[in-house]
Amino acid sequence: MNNQPCYVSASFGGLWLWSGLQPILTARNEALQLLADVGLPPEWQMPALAAASAWDVLLGVLLFSPWRQHRLLWAAQAATIAAYSLIVALWLPANWLHPFAPLVKNFPLLAVTICLAGAQQTSGPTRPENRPVSERSVS
């Protein structure tokens, strides 16, 4: 196991939970407009918003579970940040010049996420080989 402080995964978990819940609960029309601006047909906008929101919430929930120590979870976050950033950069390029720099902020998040992915376990948290030898049962 690594020595990652719990506040690191909790802060990322909070970010993903907010990212998943906020568009659905308080900014549905704005989120749907962004999907329209990307060129998504109207019939796909709500399903895409629901899927992206559910994915973000899933990432957030997993970061508050023992799976926060799994390399694949951190790699999935990195892939998600990269995919979202690429979509925004290509189809919503005005975000490069936005005064709050929403797109630029993804670069350090992506770098930290990739770094943390490399520091995590490669298999699930409940498998015996992931526990210290002193905690493994002797049968």
- DSSP-derived letter for residue 121 is B
d(CA 21, CA 35): 16
pLDDT value of residue 131: 54
- So where are the chain's domains? 6-132
pLDDT value of residue 2: 58
Structural contact between residues 79 and 55, judged by C-beta atoms closer than 8 angstroms: no
In the chain, % of residues over pLDDT 70:
83
Q: How many residues does the chain have?
A: 139
pLDDT bin (cut points 50, 70, 90) of residue 1 is very low
pLDDT value of residue 61: 98
Determine the average pLDDT of the residues in 133-138: 54
Question: What's the pLDDT tens digit per position in 11-37?
Answer: 999 999 999 999 999 999 999 999 999
